[in-house]
Structure 1
Amino acid sequence: MSDLLWQKDGVAIDARIMKFLAGDDVLLDRELFLFDIQASTAHVQGLERIAILNAEESAGLQRELALLGEDFRSGKFVLDDRYEDGHSAIESRLIERLGDTGRKVHTGRSRNDQVLVASRLYLKSQLENLHAYCLAIADICLRRATSESLPLPGYTHLQRAVVSSTAMWFAGFAEAFIDNAERARQTRDWIDANPLGTAAGYGVNLPLDRGHTTTALGFSRLQISPIYAQLSRGKFEMAALEALASALLDLRRLAWDLSLFTTAEFGFVELPAQYTTGSSIMPNKRNPDVIELMRATYASVAAARCEIEQLLSLPSGYQRDLQISKGAVFHGFSRGLAALALTPDLLARLQWNAARMRAAIEPSMYATDLAVELAQAGVPFRDAYKHAANAADQSGAGRTPEQSLAARISPGAAGDLLLDELAQRLAQAKKSLAVVAS
């Protein structure tokens, strides 16, 4: 490991203690490294604006930071256990290339606000990805709801209940993921505050140009209080994970449906072959492993949020406990976004078995239709309910699934899915993504 930024003369470094302190932090910092470089570049510009750096020093530092980013992307520079963390790696590289000029880069900042600003930039990027994946899922659901409608049994308590349709199923998940996209955008907007310049949580005796770094880094506002900058660590991360978890809760229920619908007992759905695997011992098996792991992914994100929450029983100010939060965030977003990324193609390519779905619609599933029709004719609903219950096995006489679906005209139901309104909401959500990207 290179010389430590905080090492004092005459104090021996115990390798065992350092290993415990550093853990896998430097490897985790690979996720933040380019964001750290981006923030360091803005910090250098800010130092030039208050004459801590002259134009030549600033240009040299910005040039070397850009080269470091290129070398990291290409693999020429590897962030590994030669360094305590990503922050020290950046400073070490600048000192190696620029000598005393490199030693000036940390003026007016702390590793505390370095990790805060890099984390904010990372979370904004990941929430934009979450927003985009949710919109892609909503888009394919809405397209399939619009283009096809096959009778599908509707279930409550996992028991056959009423006639539903594939269009209604897709429309439900379309609206869910439009809402999930909106939650991702709102969370991103809430996190979109610049902590750079708060240093170790108490500011510094320099007139830092925090307005410049806020604009240069694309933040919408300044995170004003240095105390709050430290208080918000973990809080913002949990909010981002909650937005991700919201989408994964819906994905879990979607995956549960598909897990059931693909069984031989249901036989409603055939998955694309690429989304199944074989058994290591049973030659006859094709297993829906992808959707099972999609179903499981929420657990990883919930665990990540729980881990961070348990860290936050802390007083104000920075505490080293917070280092542990990084792994939870990166693991949660890596697993969660990977699952969501696979979902649009899965939904686009799954095939319904119309014959099996129609065969599963039994006469008693029209009983609710009969009760409502009697109530519409003037029979008190509770009497209509009893009549339909007693005649449940005969209530389907002369009825077809298509007639039942067409008659379900309450707004949002099968006879009036309001797909145009959902399309408008989706279009508006896409516009908000375009604004974010710009």
Structure 2
Amino acid sequence: MTDLLWQKPGVHVDERIQQFCAGDDVILDREFFLFDIQASVAHAEGLQRIGILDADELSGITRELDALARDFTAGDFVLDNRYEDGHSAIEARLVERLGDAGRKIHTGRSRNDQVLVATRLWLKDRLAQVSALCRESATVALARAEVEAGLPLPGYTHLQRAVVSSAGMWWSAWAEGFIDNAIRARDTLAWVDANPLGSAAGYGVNLPLDRDHTTQALGFGRMQLSATYAQLSRGKFELAAIDALGSAMLDLRRLAWDLSLFTSTEFGFVALPPQYTTGSSIMPNKRNPDVIELMRASYASVAAGRAEVEQLLSLPSGYHRDLQFSKGAIFHAFGRGIGALGLLPDLLRNLEWKPEAMRAALEPSMYATDLAIDLAREGVPFRDAYRQAADPARWSEGDADASLAARVSPGAAGDMRLEVLRERLAALG
């Protein structure tokens, strides 16, 4: 391992303790590395603007940081256990290539605000991905709601057949849900869009750092002003981001549950695209819905990440090394979550309904609610109408298409108001 940034003369480093402290940090920092380099460029520009670096030093640092980013992307530079973490790797590379100019890069910053700004940039990128994937899923669901608005589908409560519904209503539910999820991810991105770089270890430094420049150069919406609050926000902002992801994943989990049921032989309403199923290792007759089952399971990783970050935040103010463990939590949560969300749009585009099975599952009892409402419209008090409609002798084979057309309450099958959803979706850009 290269010399530790914090190592002092006469201090012996116990390798076992150092391994415990570093853990898998250098591996995890691969996720942040390009953002760390980006922030280092902005920091160097800020140092030049206040006279810490001269123009030639800035030029050399920028050149070498750009080269490091290219080498890392190409696999020519590997972030491994030669380094304590990604931050030390950047400084070591600059010192190796530039000597004293490289030793100046850490002026006015701490690894605390260095990891904060890299994390913040990473969260912005991931939240943008979540919002975009939710928009795409909503777009597919809305398009299919329009085409399949009148296709009858049993509606269930308590997993029992309840009323006549439609594929259009099923699709519109996911369209509106994922529009809301996209909005939440977008709004959370705007909330975390605050620049912590320049807060150092949480108390600022005795230099007139040009934090306005780094805020603009890194594309932040605002500066996170209080140096101390910048430290306090670590974990808090990550929780908000995980919550936005979790909102989408909860919907995905329920959608996957529907498809798990609908694709079973007992229901038989849906055929999945072949690429979304796998075979059994022993039963030649099987095609298993593994993809939707793993989609359903992916929320567990998001919930686990949230729980881990939340538990780490039982801390007083100021920086504490406990927060190092938040990296793995957010990487795992977003890795699993975005992986699952990324497969959803094509699944929604390509799943196929089986209309015959859907209509065959409709039974006379499912029109009882319609009968009760019709009686109430004729002037029968609803509770009396309810009792009359509960009598199986009054049930008969209904007309699914007529039932759907008569369901004219806003948002129901007869008045889905998909144009309103189109407007909300369009407003997302």
Shorter chain as denominator, the TM-score bin is over 0.9
2:381 is aligned to: 380
Paired residues for 1:37-116 under 5 Å: 37-116=37-116
TM (normalized to structure 2)? 0.99
Matches of 1:151 and 1:269, distance apart in 2:
13
1:415 is aligned to: 414
Paired residues for 1:347-386 under 5 Å: 347-386=348-387
Shift of 1:15: 1.0
1:293 is aligned to: 294
Three-state SS of the structure 2 residue aligned to 1:32 is helix
1:194 is aligned to: 195
Three-state SS of the structure 1 residue aligned to 2:319 is coil
Matches of 2:394 and 2:120, distance apart in 1:
62
> What letter matches 1:419 in structure 2?
L
Three-state SS of the structure 2 residue aligned to 1:252 is helix
Matches of 2:102 and 2:180, distance apart in 1:
47
> What letter matches 1:157 in structure 2?
H
Matches of 1:396 and 1:314, distance apart in 2:
65
Matches of 2:177 and 2:393, distance apart in 1:
34
Matches of 1:418 and 1:214, distance apart in 2:
42
Shift of 1:396: 3.3
Three-state SS of the structure 2 residue aligned to 1:379 is coil
Three-state SS of the structure 1 residue aligned to 2:388 is helix
Please give the per-residue CA displacement for 1:67-124, whole angstroms capped at 9, x wherever unaligned: 1101110011110110000000000000000000000000000000000000000000
Paired residues for 1:268-279 under 5 Å: 268-279=269-280
> What letter matches 2:205 in structure 1?
V
Three-state SS of the structure 1 residue aligned to 2:165 is strand
Shift of 1:147: 1.1
The 1:409/1:204 distance shift into structure 2, 3 A limit, reads same
Three-state SS of the structure 2 residue aligned to 1:164 is strand
TM (normalized to structure 1)? 0.97
Please give the per-residue CA displacement for 1:346-403, whole angstroms capped at 9, x wherever unaligned: 010000010001000000100000100111111111111111001x454334x31100
Paired residues for 1:237-248 under 5 Å: 237-248=238-249
Matches of 1:104 and 1:2, distance apart in 2:
18
2:134 is aligned to: 134
Contact 1:363 1:393 (8 Å CA) reproduced: no
1:253 is aligned to: 254
The 1:253/1:393 distance shift into structure 2, 3 A limit, reads farther
Matches of 1:302 and 1:256, distance apart in 2:
17
Matches of 2:423 and 2:267, distance apart in 1:
34
Contact 1:238 1:308 (8 Å CA) reproduced: yes
Matches of 1:80 and 1:378, distance apart in 2:
77
Between the two proteins, the alignment pairs up a number of residues equal to: 428
Shift of 1:421: 0.6
Matches of 2:378 and 2:278, distance apart in 1:
54
Contact 1:365 1:396 (8 Å CA) reproduced: no
Three-state SS of the structure 2 residue aligned to 1:233 is coil
Contact 1:304 1:331 (8 Å CA) reproduced: yes
Please give the per-residue CA displacement for 1:264-299, whole angstroms capped at 9, x wherever unaligned: 000000001100011111111111000001001111
1:171 is aligned to: 172
> What letter matches 1:160 in structure 2?
R
Three-state SS of the structure 2 residue aligned to 1:200 is coil
Shift of 1:212: 0.4
> What letter matches 1:58 in structure 2?
L
Matches of 2:386 and 2:148, distance apart in 1:
32
RMSD over aligned Cα, in angstroms? 0.7
> What letter matches 1:172 in structure 2?
A
Contact 1:363 1:394 (8 Å CA) reproduced: no
Matches of 1:265 and 1:148, distance apart in 2:
23
Please give the per-residue CA displacement for 1:137-158, whole angstroms capped at 9, x wherever unaligned: 0000000001123100000000
Contact 1:259 1:288 (8 Å CA) reproduced: yes
1:31 is aligned to: 31
2:402 is aligned to: 403
Contact 1:251 1:295 (8 Å CA) reproduced: yes
Matches of 1:246 and 1:253, distance apart in 2:
11
> What letter matches 1:81 in structure 2?
N
Structure 1, unaligned runs of 5 or more: 432-438
Shift of 1:226: 1.0
Same amino acid, percent of matched pairs: 70
> What letter matches 1:173 in structure 2?
W
1:280 is aligned to: 281
Matches of 1:418 and 1:86, distance apart in 2:
51
Matches of 1:272 and 1:81, distance apart in 2:
43
Matches of 1:116 and 1:393, distance apart in 2:
68
Matches of 1:349 and 1:336, distance apart in 2:
21
Three-state SS of the structure 2 residue aligned to 1:52 is coil
Three-state SS of the structure 2 residue aligned to 1:31 is helix
Shift of 1:12: 1.4
Matches of 1:377 and 1:73, distance apart in 2:
72
Matches of 1:365 and 1:335, distance apart in 2:
39
The 1:393/1:160 distance shift into structure 2, 3 A limit, reads farther
Paired residues for 1:309-348 under 5 Å: 309-348=310-349
Contact 1:39 1:118 (8 Å CA) reproduced: yes
Matches of 1:341 and 1:42, distance apart in 2:
32
Matches of 2:393 and 2:46, distance apart in 1:
77
1:233 is aligned to: 234
Matches of 2:307 and 2:74, distance apart in 1:
35
